Chains A and B, each alone.
Chain A
Amino acid sequence: MPAGRLKTNETEGRITLSRPITFSFNGKTLQGYQGDTLASALLANGIHLVGRSWKYHRPRGILGSGTEEPNAVVQLGIGARTVPNVLATQLEIYEGLEASSVNCWPSLEHDLLSVNGWFSRLMPAGFYYKTFMWPKSMWMKYEQAIRRASGLGVSPNLPDPDRYEKTYAHCDVLVVGAGPAGLMAALAAGRTGARVILADEQSEPGGSLLYSRETIEGLPAMKWVAGVWQELESMEEMKLLRRSTVFGYHDQNFLTIAERLNDHLPRWECRGARERLWKVRARQVVLASGALERPLVFGNNDRPGVMLASAVSCYINRFAVAPGSRCLVFTNNDSAYGAALDMVDAGIQVQAVVDCRPRPRGVLPERLRQRGVEIIAGSVVVNVKGTHRVKAAQVMQLPAQNGILKGEKRLIHCDLLAMSGGWSPVVHLSSQSGARARWDDARACFLPGMPVQQERSAGAANGSFSLNACLSEGSFAGREAARLAGWEWDNQPDPPSSSMQLEEPVQPLWLVPSEYAPGRGPKQFVDMQNDVGAADIILAAREGYHSIEHVKRYTALGFGTDQGKVGNINGMAILAQSLGATIADTGTTTFRPNYTPVTFGAIAGQEVGEKLFEPVRKTALHEWHQARGAAFENVGQWKRPWYYPKSGESMQEAVNRECLATRESVGIIDVSTLGKIVITGKDSGEFLNRIYTNAWKKLAIDKARYGLMLGEDGMVMDDGVTIRLSENRYYMHTTTGGAAGVYSWMERWLQTEWPDLQVFLISVTDHWATAAVVGPNSRRVMMGACQGIDFSAQSFPFMSSREGTVGSIPARINRISFSGELAYEVNVPANLGKPMWEVLMAVGEEFGITPYGTETMHVLRAEKGYIIVGQDTDGSVTPDDLGMGWALSKTKDFLGKRSLAREDCMREDRKQLVGLLTINRTEVLPEGGQIVEDPDAAIPVPMIGHVTSSYYSACLGHSIALALVQGGRSRIGEIVHIPLAEGRVIPARISDPVFYDPDGERQNV
C-alpha cells in the first residue's frame, strides 16, 4: 500500500478526520487534520525532506516524533510573529499555518551550500581551528562566510506583538509528565488531597500511551487515560497543565514551566498571552519524564526516511500516517519489534528486521516471526543508499574483526528504515536538580542519580521501561511524595496492570561496525543537527580531547537546539570506546536548563516596555510638572523635572532664567525624590556616629546636620542632611539614586555586625512630598504660606527644623540649603503634596516664584562648590579630596576611618576637588573631559584629572566647572588643558571650587 494517510476507522488515532486543516510548507499548500503535528502532516503528504543540516547542508528528514527531533527544524510564520527553529514534530498544525525550511538557499531541494558535502573531508571536527589563519587580514572575511553559512532560522525583524505573563505557584507535589507513570503519580498524590500540579509538554495527556496499542485494565490505553484524566479534573486541588514544559530545576525545589497558550491556534482564535511562565515551588517532585529512543550510528544514518522505530509507531498509531511503504527495521532490543508489528498491522511491508543480537527470542520477535517477517539476527545495517530519501540499505553479518566486518553485503530495498538503539531515560531534570546520573550496564543507559533535592523519578525516566513498571512506580512515587508533603490516604487502590510483554535484554551497540575503519566509509552521524559523526569524536579523542566536555566543545556534539537528546549517549559511548574506557568513566556532560528552548519573551514576562521594565517612580507633583511642560530626567527609577522650558526657549535659556530668578528672588523645586529614612531606637545616635564621619550624639532636637557616609574603603559613598526629631528619632536624607543602597548598607551593618544596637530603620521616601523654596524672598513666601512658625532668623536659624502648617496642611519645615541661598524645605504627607505646592505657588506669585528642575539645581550647587555624590565622586574620592576633611571626627570611630589612615589616602598629590574657569568665559567644558598639562605630549599623555561637573553660570556670567585634579588645591591659578576628541584643546584656569558667595552669607540671613 502507498505511504501516506491510513484511512480506516480503526487507525484514526488521535487525529480528527472530520476536521481538515490547510497549511503551507515551503510555499506549497497542503492538507492535514486536527490533531496533526507539522511532521505528521508532512509525512501524510509524502514529504520526507524537510531541512538541511548545519555544516554539510545534507538533506534531512524527520527522525523522531517529539522534542528529541534534531533535523526537522523549520521557520514558522512570517513578519513580526515568525518563530525560528521550531520543531516540526512539536508544532501542532492550525488553519493558515505557514512554515518553511531553514538553512538552505535557493531552495530545499537545490541548496547551493550542499557543496560543503563534497568538501566534507576537509571539514572534520574543529577544522576551523587549524586554518583560516593566513593571511591574517583575511580572517574577518573568512569569518563572514562562516557566519553566513551557519545558524539555522531567521530572527524576527519586528518587535513582538504578543504578550507574555508569569505566575507563581506552590504545591505539595509537582508531577512532570503525563504518561503512564506521571498519570498514576498525579492520581495517587491527588487522592490524598494534596495540592498537585501535573505538567505535560504535549497537547494531550498520555505520553507514550498516545501511540500504544496495549491495554490497561482491559481498556485500550487511551480510553484508560481518558478515565484517569476525568478523575484528575474532578479533584479540587489538582492543576493540570498541558503544552507545558518543565524546563528548569533550580535550587530549593524551584522549577520553571513554560506553558504555550496560543501557538496551536490560528491567529484569529488567539486570546490573551502567548505564553505563561510558571514559577513553582514544590514540596515534592515526581519526575515522570519518560525516555527517549536512541538512533543507531551507521553509514548515512541521516538520510530522510531513516527514523526512530518509536516515531514510526507514533506516526502510525497516533496520527494514522504511514511514513513509508516498505520498511527495514534495525535494532538492538525488543521494542522495535513492537513498531514492526504496528507496521505490519497497518499494511506496511516490513522487509526484515536486522537485529545485532545473535538470537532474539522474546515474545515480540516470536510474534513477528509468526507474521512471516524475516529476522536477520546477528547482523547490522552498514550503509543507506539514497540521498533525498532512503532507497535501500546494506546489511552485513557480525562479528567484526578488529572493528571491521568482512563478508557478504546484502542489499535490501526500502523507503523507510526504522531503527532503535535502546532507550535513554530523560534524566535532564534530575541532573539539573543536582543528582549525578549513573550508568547502568544492564539497561545500557544513564539512570537518575541519588536525589539531592526532594525529588524522585518514576517509570521510564527511572529506567523502568515496561508499562506495568511505569504504572506501579508512578503510583508509588505519587503516594510517597504526597506522604512526605504531609498527605496520606489509606484506601489507595492497587495500581492497574496492562497487557505487558516480557522483553529480552538490550545489547549495547554504539558505533555500528562496517567494512571500513571509522572515518573511511560513509559518514556515521551521532549528532545530526550539528553534523557530528563518529569519526569526529574519534578524531577529537586522537587529538587529546579526552574529557567528554572537551569533545562536546571541540566537535559541537550536543550543542544544537535539541541539546543532544538523541545523540549524546551514543557520542559518550563512542568516546569511551575510542579511549578504551567505560561509559561510567567518561560520564555525561552537564545537563543544563533549558530542557527545551524557551522564548526570551516568556522569561522576560510583563517586565517590559516603557512602564514595566522597571517601576517608574513619580512624585506627588508629577502631573503638575507635566502640565507646566517640564522636561524630565531619569534619576534612578525616578522621573524628575529637568527644566521647565517656556515656549520657544532652549534648555540653556530656561536654565539661565530659572537660576537668575532663584538667586534674585525665589525659586521652587520638587525634592520629594531624595531618599528619606527614619532611624529610631535608643542607640540611634551611636548608630549615626558609626555610619557617618562626623559626630551626632550632641545634635540638639530639631537641629540638622550634614553627614558624609564612607564605604569600608574610606571612599565617599553618600551624603545628606539628617535631622534629630526627638531623643531617639532621626530623619535621614540620602541622595535620590543612593536611597536603596544606603538603606541596605545600614541594614547590613545592623543585622550582621551590630546586632547589639537597638536601632530600627524605616524607609519613608514615598511618604512625604517635599518642596524646597529657595532664594532671598523665600522667607517672605514661607511667612505668607505657613502658620504657627516664627520665621525670624533668631528663632528659626539655618540648619534647624520646625513644625507648622502650610494652608491647613501639617508640615515639617527644614531650613537647609543646597544652593547657598536662604531656603526652606517643606515636607507634607505625599497625598497632600499638590495642595501644599499650590499654596506656595500662590503666595509666591507676587515674588515671581519660579519652578526649577534638576539642571538649575546642579548649576546653583556647582556655583557654591557643593558636590553631587556619583558625579563629582566616583568611588575613589576621600572626604579630604573634596576639601571636606572638616567633616571627619578625630575622636570617634566610623566606617571607613581606618582605610583613611592608609598611606595612599594620605598622599599629598591625590586628586582633589577644584574649580575650573575656562579662559573663554562662554565656553562650557565637556563633562567627563580629561585634563592634561601638556596637550602636545606624546601618547600615552599623562592625565592629571577630569571634569566632573560643568555649566554655564548665568549668575556669574561665566562658564564654571568642578574637577578632580592631582594635587589640585596647590595648583590654584595654573592653566590646564582639556583636549577634545575632534582635536581641539580648551584651556582653563584652576580655581577654588566655590565660585559664589564664598563666605556663605546668603544662606545665613
Chain B
Amino acid sequence: MMTKYSFFNLVRNALGHHEGWAPAWRSPEPGKQYDVVIIGGGGHGLATAYYLAKEHGITNVAVLEKGWIGGGNTGRNTTIVRSNYLWDEAAHLYEASMKLWEGLSQDLNFNLMFSQRGVYNLGHNLQDMRDIRRRVDANRLNGIDGEVVDGIELKRRIPILNTSPNSRYPVLGASFQARGGTARHDAVAWGFARGADSFGVDIIQQCEVIGIRQVNGCVTGVETNRGFIGAGKVGIVVAGNSSVLAGLAGFRLPISSHPLQALVSEPLKPVLDTVVMSNAVHGYISQSDKGDLVVGAGIDSFNGYGQRGSFPVIEGVLAAIKALFPVFSRVRMNRQWGGIVDTTPDACPIIGRTPVKGVYINCGWGTGGFKATPGSGYVFAHTLAQERPHSLNEAFSLERFTSGHLIDEHGAAGVAH
C-alpha cells in the first residue's frame, strides 16, 4: 500500500528512523498476459501507464524497461518545460501538457519540483525577432502566455546577460513565457511510476523486448529476455530506439536518431533564476535547485544509438554560453553526458496507430520530449484505450508523412527545442 507523502508522514517516519517507508513501486515478476504492454519505462511510458489506469480504468498493464526506469532521455535532458510552440497543433498539445504540469506534484503526491521560473528564447537578428513576434502573437491568440521583451528590458531582468551591441550576435530581444520553467527530471519518472504502481500497473525493469509477436498482422505479445509476455495492445515509447522497435514489429519510421549532449557546472549559489535559450548561438542554460548550471547544446549531426556525442559540440555550446554570460567563464564544467533523440522531418512527434494492428507508437519528440511528458502520456493513454487518437494528437499521426500534413516546428519557429 502506498504511503502518502506529506510533512506529517515525514515527521511520523522520522520518529521511526524512516524504516517504515514502503517501496515507491514494486518490482514484480512479469505476468503472462496483460491488456496493455508499454515498451519503455521512461517518463512518457510511465505517464501513459498512469493515465491508462487513472483515466481509463485499464490497470492490467505492464511497463517493460530494458534498463532502469527514467534512465534514457528522462534522466538526461535539461529539464526545461514550456509550451510556447508556434503551430496550433503543437501549441495545444504542449499547452495541455503544461496544464497537467501545473497540478502534477499534487496529482501524483510526489514533489516534482516544478518551478515556473520563466523561459526566455533570445533573438539575435531581425529574422529571429520576426519569428519571435509571430510565435508570441500566435501563442497569445491560442491562450498561451507570452510576451516579447526588448533588449533593454531583458538586461533589467537578467543583469548578467550580455546584451552589448558589440557582441558577435547581439541580443535584440526575446520571447518570454512566465509559466515555463524547469522540473526535477528523475522525479517525473519516479512519480509516475509510483502513481501507476498504486493502481496495480507492473513496472518491470531489466526486461528487454527482443521481438513483437504477431498473428495475422495482429499483435499478440512481446518476446523479452525474461520470456514471452502476452499483450492485447502494445505501446512503443522508446525515444531514441524507436526505429529499432519498429524494426522488430516490421515497419519503418521516418525517424533519425542523433546524440544530444548536455552538461552541468559545479554547484553555485543562486545566480540565474530563469531559463535562457538561444537558437542562434545554440545553447541554453538554467540553474538547478542544487545550484548547478545546466547547459544544453544543439544535436550532434551524425546518426547513432550510442549515448555519447562529440567534443566540438561541447566547445561550441560553452563558447555560446560565455558569449551570453561572460561572468560564467571561470565557472567549471563538472560533468557532461549524451542522450539519443529521435527526430522527425517536421520536429513534431508521432503519436498513434502503426501498420501492425494493436501496436501503437509514441515517438519523434526529438529534443522536446521532457516538457511534454504528462501530456504525451495523457493522449497516448487515450489513444491506446479508445483505439483512436485524442483530438490533441489527431494531427500527429504517422500518416501525415504520406498525406503531407506536416507541422513544421523547426522550419517555422526558429526555437531551440
- A-to-B contact residues, CB < 8 Å: 54, 81-85, 121-122, 124, 127-134, 136, 139-140, 143, 146-148, 150-160, 162, 248, 250-251, 254, 256, 279, 517, 519-520, 535, 539, 542-547, 549-550, 553-554, 556, 559-561, 563, 590, 592-594, 597-601, 603-605, 607-614, 616, 633-635, 712-715, 870-871, 874-876, 899, 902-905, 926-930, 932, 939-941, 943, 946, 948, 979, 981
Contacts and interface: CB of A to CB of B under 8 A. Distances in A.
Given A155-B327, A519-B19, A543-B23, A600 B321 contact: yes
B315 interface: yes
B168 A613 contact: yes
A715 B335 contact: no
Contacts of A904: 400, 403-406
A539 B379 CA distance: 35
A254 B269 CA distance: 34
B21 A519 contact: no
Given A153-B268, A610-B167, A613-B323, A871 B141 contact: no
A542 B327 contact: no
A604 B322 contact: yes
B258 to A, nearest CB: 15
20 contacts: A122-B11, A130-B5, A130-B10, A134-B6, A160-B329, A520-B17, A560-B267, A590-B337, A592-B336, A594-B334, A597-B333, A599-B333, A601-B330, A604-B321, A607-B319, A613-B167, A633-B125, A930-B134, A940-B143, A943-B138
Nearest to B110: A129
Given A547-B68, A600-B333, A899-B404, A153 B323 contact: no
B148 A544 contact: no
A861 to B, nearest CB: 15
Point out which of A85, A128, A146, A151 has the most chain B C-beta atoms below 10 A from its C-beta. Answer: A151
B199 interface: no
B198 interface: no
Given A129-B187, A608-B319, A616-B168, A134 B7 contact: yes
Nearest to B148: A981
A613 B266 contact: no
B319 A613 contact: yes
Contacts of A940: 88, 92, 141-143
Contact of A151 (B116, B268, B323): B268
A222 B172 CA distance: 59
B290 A600 contact: no
Contact of A121 (B14, B314, B323): B14
B270 A147 contact: yes
A73 to B, nearest CB: 9
Contacts of A929: 133-134, 137
Nearest to A147: B270
Contacts of A590: 337
A560 B334 CA distance: 9
Contacts of A616: 168
A121 B334 CA distance: 30
Nearest to B402: A902
A539 B18 CA distance: 7
Contact of A603 (B23, B160, B289, B314): B314
B328 interface: yes
B88 A943 contact: yes
B331 interface: yes
B27 A546 contact: yes
B294 interface: no
B218 interface: no
A604 B335 CA distance: 15
A132 B334 contact: no
A747 to B, nearest CB: 14
Contacts of B27: 544, 546
B205 interface: yes
A883 to B, nearest CB: 19
B181 to A, nearest CB: 9
Contacts of A131: 5-7, 10, 111
Interface string B9-34: 11100100111011111110000000
A158 B159 CA distance: 11
Contact of A561 (B6, B113, B266): B266
A542 B400 CA distance: 47
Given A158-B327, A603-B314, A943-B88, A930 B266 contact: no
B83 to A, nearest CB: 13
Contacts of A604: 315, 318-319, 321-322, 329
A413 B268 CA distance: 38
A593 B412 contact: no
B289 A84 contact: no
A601 B266 contact: no
Most buried by A among B22, B114, B329, B403: B329
Contacts of B67: 547
Given A593-B335, A608-B319, A876-B412, A84 B19 contact: no
B411 A876 contact: yes
Interface in B26-69: 26-27, 67-69
A967 to B, nearest CB: 16
Contact of B266 (A85, A250, A544, A871): A85
A597 B330 contact: no
B71 to A, nearest CB: 6
Interface in B301-352: 308, 310-311, 314-316, 318-323, 326-337, 345-346
Given A122-B10, A519-B19, A133 B111 contact: yes
Given A561-B334, A874-B411, 9 more contacts: A84-B332, A85-B267, A129-B184, A154-B268, A545-B24, A593-B336, A601-B329, A603-B333, A604-B321
Nearest to B413: A874
B332 A597 contact: yes
Contact of A250 (B25, B88, B310): B310
Contact of A140 (B88, B115, B148, B405): B115
Interface string B140-180: 11110001100000000000100000111100000000000
A544 B268 contact: no
A598 B332 contact: yes
A23 B358 CA distance: 72
B216 interface: no
Given A121-B14, A603-B315, A553 B75 contact: yes
B328 A133 contact: no
3 tightest CB-CB pairs across the interface, nearest first? A875-B411, A151-B291, A902-B404
A822 B174 CA distance: 40
Contacts of A153: 266-269
Given A84-B268, A610-B168, A939 B143 contact: yes
A876 B408 contact: yes
B130 A128 contact: no
Contact of B130 (A544, A545, A927): A927
A828 B147 CA distance: 47
B318 A600 contact: yes
Contact of B142 (A154, A561, A939): A939
Contacts of B124: 634
Contact of A926 (B133, B316, B337, B411): B133
B265 interface: yes
Nearest to A854: B126
Interface in B222-249: none
B173 to A, nearest CB: 12
Of the candidates B18, B133, B289, the one having the most CB atoms from chain A within 10 angstroms of its own CB is B18
Interface in B81-125: 88, 92, 103, 105-106, 109-111, 113-117, 124-125
Contacts of B318: 600, 603-604
Nearest to A905: B404
Interface in B277-295: 281, 287, 289-291
B87 to A, nearest CB: 9
A905 B400 CA distance: 11
A605 B312 CA distance: 11
B16 to A, nearest CB: 10
B22 A634 contact: no
A607 B315 contact: yes
